A and B are shown apart, each in its own frame.
Chain A
Amino acid sequence: MQRRISLALLIVCLIVGATGFVTFSSLPAHAVLPDEMLKDQALEHRARDLSRELRCLVCQNESIDDSAAPLARDLRLLLRERLKAGDTDQQVLDYLVARYGEFVLLKPRLSMHTVLLWGTPPILLVLGGIVLLFAVRRRRQADGMRESQRPLTGAEQERVSQLVGKESHL
C-alpha cells in the first residue's frame, strides 16, 4: 500500500516536473531606456517580450533588449510604434522580417532550411532511445541463450566439482 502511494506521488511529481517551466522566462537584461517605454503597461510588457526575440543586427548575438547600440534603440522604438498602431505580435515580427530578413529573429522559424535545426534534438533523443531499447533487448536475448541455457562443458564441470570439493574440505 505504502509503495503504491509513493509510486502515485512519484507519478504526480513526474507530471508536475515535466509540464514544469518548459520555457525559462528569458533573462531580464535591458538596455531599454526610460524615455522609450510606453505608458501602457500591458503594451510595454509585450514590447519587452518581443524585443528579447529580436537580434540587434550590428551586435554579436545580442537581443535588442540587451544591446546599447543605436540601431537596437531604433528597432525598439520602431517595434513600439507598430504595437501602438495596433499590430499583433505576429504582425510586428512579420514586418521586421520583411524589412531586415530572417536574420533579425533569434528564434528561427521552422522552414525547409531550419528543419534540421529544430529537428535534431527530438530526433536524436527518440533515435537514441530506440537504439538503446534494441541494444538492451538484443543483448539480453543473446545472453539468455548463451550464458544461462548452455550446459556446462566438461572442463567447467570438472572445475566446479574441484571447487565444491575444496569447499567441503574446509
Chain B
Amino acid sequence: MIPELGHYALVLALALALIQSIVPFIGARTNDPVLMGVAAPTAVGQFAFVAMSFACLVYSYVVSDFSLSVVYENSNSLMPLIYRVTSVWGNHEGSMLLWVLILALFGALVAFFSTNLPKTLQANVLAVQAWVAVAFYLFILITSSPFTRLSPAPFEGRELNPLLQDFGLAVHPPMLYLGYVGFSISFSFAIAALIDGRIDAAWARWVRPWTLLAWMCLTLGIAMGSYWAYYELGWGGWWFWDPVENASLMPWLAGTALLHSALVMEKRNALKVWTILLSILAFSLSLLGTFLVRSGVLTSVHTFASDPLRGIFILVILVIFIGGGLSIFAWRAPLLKQGGLFAPVSREGLLVLNNLFLTTACATVVVGTLYPLALEALTGAKISVGAPYFNLTFGPLFIPLLFAIPFGPLMAWKRGDLPGVAQRLAVACVLGLVAVIAAFAIAGTHAVLAPLGIGLAVFVIAGALTDIVERSNIMRVPARVALRRVAGLPRSVWGSAFAHMGMGLTLLGIVCETSWSSEKIITVRPEQTVKLRNYDLTFGGLSQHRGPNYSALTGVFKVTRNGDEIATMSPSKRTFPVRQITTNEAALLTRGFSQIYVSLGDPNPDGSITARLYYKPLVLLIWLGAVVMFFGGGLSLTDRRLRVGAPKTARAKTAALAPAE
C-alpha cells in the first residue's frame, strides 16, 4: 500500500508540474495576475507530493519491503539502518527520485523567497522550472519507477553494493545533486529573462544567491566524493580523472565562471549575454553529467544500448533542454542591450580573463571525456583519455588562473592600475618567493616543480589576505580602529577572500601530496617494523571478527615515533557474503594536516600480509580547502546585499520592519 501511495503522489506531482508549466506562462504573456499567481502554490504543492513519494520509498527501505524490486536489489535486512536509508539513492531509480526531490525543493524555495521578484519574472521562472520537472517525472514514471513490485516477494534482499556501504553515500550524492540541480534555477532565470527579452543588474542580483548556493553544495559534494574515494579504494588516490568525476567537475567549472561573470553583470551591467549563456551551459553540463552517469554510456557504448529506452529518453531530455535553451538564446539574446564599458586592465577585464580560462578548462574536460565516445561511434577506433592527458592540458590552464586570483579583488572596477596592484601585492609576492626558497632548501632540488607550486599556493593565500588588509587599512591606523574596520567589512569581501584562500589551501595540499608522499608496499610478518618517514609501524598480527553483514580481517599496526607509542592503526578487509565482494577499509592516522595511511592486501598462509603504507604530507588541506571555499560562499550568501528579499541596501530597513511574507 505504501509504495502505491508513493507512486500515486509522484503522478500527482507530475500533474501539478504540468499545470505549473503552462498556466503561469500564459499568465505572464497575458499579464493576468491570477494565472501568474498559480505558480507559487503549485511549486510548493509539487514539492509536498514529491517529498511524500520519497518518504514512501524511504519507509519501504527502512522496513525492508522486498516486494519492491529496487529494495530487493539494493537492500538487505541485516544492513544497519543508516545504510538502509542511504541505499535509497544508491541505485538508478532512487537517485533519480532524489534528483526530482531536490528539483522540487528548489522550485518551492524560489516560490517562497522570491515574492519581491517582478510577477512576470517569477511566473516565467517557475514555469521553466516546471518544464524541467515534467521531463524528469515522465522519465521516472515511464522508464525508471522505483515503485515496481515483485511477485512473489523474496524473503531477503540482495544488499547494497558493499563499496557504497559507507557514510560517504549519505552525504556525497545529496550534496552533488543539490549542486547539479541548483543550477536549474539560474537556467530557469536565464530562459525567463530571454522570454521577457529584458534583463538588468537586478536580475544578476536575484540569480547570484542561487548560483552561489548550488556552487557551494557542488564544491563540498565533489570534495566529499574525493575524500571518500581516497579512504575507500585503498590506494590513497583522491582524483582519477574518471569520466564520472569529470561529469561533476564540468558544471563546477562553468558554475565558477558564472559566479564571477554574474558579479560583473550585477556591479557594472556588463557581460549580460555571456552570463545568460553561462547559466544555460552550467545546467546543460549538469544534465550532461546526469546523462553520462545514468545512461551507462561510459562503461561502453554497448551498455548504453542494452537499456535503450532509458538512454534514449534521457538523451531526448538533453537535446530538448540544451538545444532548446541555446536556440532561445540565439533567437533572443540580440535583444539584450549591452551596457557598462571597461578598460582591459580593470576588475572586469580580469574577471573576463578568469572566464576565458575557466571555460577553456571546462571545454578541455568536456572534450577529454566525450572524445573517446565520439571517436568510437564515428570511426570505430578505440582510444583512452586518462589522467596523463588531463594533467598535461588542464594543469597549464589552471596555473595562470591561480596566479591571477590575488589581482582580481584588488583591481579597481572600470579602469585598474596594474603597477599599483602589483605594489600592494609585493608582500604576498615576497612570501611566495620565500616559500619557494624554503621548499627548495628543505626538499632539495630533485623535484623542481613542487617548490614553485608551493610558492604559487602561498601567493594565492597571502594575496587573499592582502585584500582584507588593504580594505581595512590595518597597517596605517590604530589597532582598535583597524579591528572595527575588519569586522565592518562586507561579508561578501570576507567571502571571496575565504573562497580564494581555500583554493590556495587545496593547491598546497595537492602539491605536497603529489610530490612528497612516501610509500611502502611490503609483505609484513608479525612483529616486523617498517620505517615510514619519521614513524615506525610495527605489525601486530591479524584477527578475524564479524560485523552485522560482513566478516572482517583486521591487522594491527602500532605506530611509534622516536620510541614513543602514538597510536594503533587497524586497517581491515571486509568480505560481504551476499554479493561476494571484498572491500578495503584503510586505516588513517591524522597528524596535523598530514596523514599516515595503511591498507591491507592479500594475506599469506604464514600469517604475513601485503600492506600498503603511505605518509601523505598536508593531504587534508586538499579537502579542507574545499570546506573553506564552502564557508566563504556561505559568508557571501549572508551578505545583506545578496540576501534574497533585500534587493536594495537603502530599502533594507523598511523591509526588515515589514511583516515577513
Residues of B within 8 A of A89 (CB): none
In the assembled complex, 5 residue pairs joining A and B whose CB atoms fall closer than 8 Å, in A order, are: A22-B392, A26-B387, A27-B237, A116-B371, A118-B393
Q: How far is the CA of A40 from the CA of B388 in the complex (A)?
A: 25
A165 at the interface (CB under 8 A from B): no
B116 at the interface (CB under 8 A from A): no
Given contacts A6-B422, A118-B393, 19 further A-B contacts (CB under 8 A): A7-B419, A9-B422, A10-B425, A17-B402, A17-B452, A18-B400, A20-B449, A22-B395, A23-B392, A27-B239, A32-B521, A60-B299, A61-B240, A66-B240, A105-B384, A106-B388, A107-B388, A113-B379, A117-B368
A28–B510 touching, CB < 8 Å: no
Q: CB-nearest residue of chain B relative to A143? A: B341
A30–B384 touching, CB < 8 Å: no
A63–B387 touching, CB < 8 Å: yes
Q: How far is the CA of A120 from the CA of B236 in the complex (A)?
A: 31
Residues of A within 8 A of B514 (CB): 24-28
B388–A53 touching, CB < 8 Å: yes
A21–B425 touching, CB < 8 Å: no
Q: CB-nearest residue of chain A relative to B424? A: A6
Q: Known contacts A22-B449, A24-B514; is A3 also within 8 Å of B387 by CB?
A: no
Residues of A within 8 A of B455 (CB): 13, 16-17, 20
Residues of A within 8 A of B363 (CB): 120-121, 124
A43 at the interface (CB under 8 A from B): no
- A105, A121, A129 — which one has the most chain B CB atoms within 10 A of its CB? A121
Q: Known contacts A13-B433, A28-B517, A55-B384; is A2 also within 8 Å of B423 by CB?
A: yes
A71 at the interface (CB under 8 A from B): no
B633 at the interface (CB under 8 A from A): no
Which listed residue, B393, B422, B447, B515, touches A121 by the CB 8 Å rule?
Answer: B393
Which listed residue, B379, B384, B430, B523, touches A104 by the CB 8 Å rule?
Answer: B384
Interface size class of A (residues with CB under 8 A): 35 or more
B240–A62 touching, CB < 8 Å: yes
B389–A7 touching, CB < 8 Å: no
Q: Which of A64-90 contact B (CB under 8 A)?
A: 66
Residues of A within 8 A of B239 (CB): 27
CB distance from B122 to the nearest CB of A (A): 33
B352 at the interface (CB under 8 A from A): yes
B452–A108 touching, CB < 8 Å: no
B528 at the interface (CB under 8 A from A): no
A125–B433 touching, CB < 8 Å: no
Residues of B within 8 A of A38 (CB): none
Residues of B within 8 A of A151 (CB): none
B610 at the interface (CB under 8 A from A): yes
Q: How far is the CA of A24 from the CA of B456 in the complex (A)?
A: 14
Q: CB-nearest residue of chain B relative to A124? A: B360
Residues of A within 8 A of B523 (CB): 34-35
Which listed residue, A33, A53, A61, A121, touches B521 by the CB 8 Å rule?
Answer: A33
Which listed residue, A16, A61, A108, touches B436 by the CB 8 Å rule?
Answer: A16
Which listed residue, B243, B357, B511, touches A21 by the CB 8 Å rule?
Answer: B511
Q: Known contacts A17-B455, A106-B386; is A28 also within 8 Å of B356 by CB?
A: no
Q: CB-nearest residue of chain A relative to B236? A: A29
A interface majority secondary structure: helix
Q: CB-nearest residue of chain A relative to B602? A: A33
Which listed residue, A19, A26, A35, A117, touches B452 by the CB 8 Å rule?
Answer: A19
Residues of B within 8 A of A4 (CB): 419
Q: CB-nearest residue of chain A relative to B456? A: A17
CB distance from A92 to the nearest CB of B (A): 15
Q: CB-nearest residue of chain A relative to B241? A: A61
Residues of A within 8 A of B433 (CB): 9, 12-13, 16
Q: How far is the CA of A48 from the CA of B387 in the complex (A)?
A: 15
CB distance from A75 to the nearest CB of B (A): 13
Q: CB-nearest residue of chain B relative to A32? A: B521
Interface flags, B202-243, vs A, CB<8A=1, else 0:
000000000000000000000000000000000111111111
B200 at the interface (CB under 8 A from A): no
Residues of B within 8 A of A6 (CB): 419, 422-423, 425-426, 429
Q: How far is the CA of A26 from the CA of B514 in the complex (A)?
A: 7
B610–A108 touching, CB < 8 Å: no
Q: How far is the CA of A114 from the CA of B385 in the complex (A)?
A: 10
B444 at the interface (CB under 8 A from A): no
A160 at the interface (CB under 8 A from B): no
B391 at the interface (CB under 8 A from A): yes
Q: Known contacts A6-B425, A21-B399; is A102 also within 8 Å of B240 by CB?
A: no
B395–A23 touching, CB < 8 Å: yes
B367 at the interface (CB under 8 A from A): yes
The 6 closest A-B pairs by CB, nearest first: A106-B386, A20-B452, A29-B237, A21-B449, A107-B388, A6-B423
Q: Which of B471-530 contact A (CB under 8 A)?
A: 510-511, 514-515, 517, 519, 521-523
CB distance from B58 to the nearest CB of A (A): 30
A101 at the interface (CB under 8 A from B): yes
- A14, A24, A63 — which one has the most chain B CB atoms within 10 A of its CB? A24
B356–A21 touching, CB < 8 Å: no
B653 at the interface (CB under 8 A from A): no
Interface flags, B230-261, vs A, CB<8A=1, else 0:
00000111111111000000000000000000
B541 at the interface (CB under 8 A from A): no
Which listed residue, A24, A33, A63, A101, touches B391 by the CB 8 Å rule?
Answer: A24
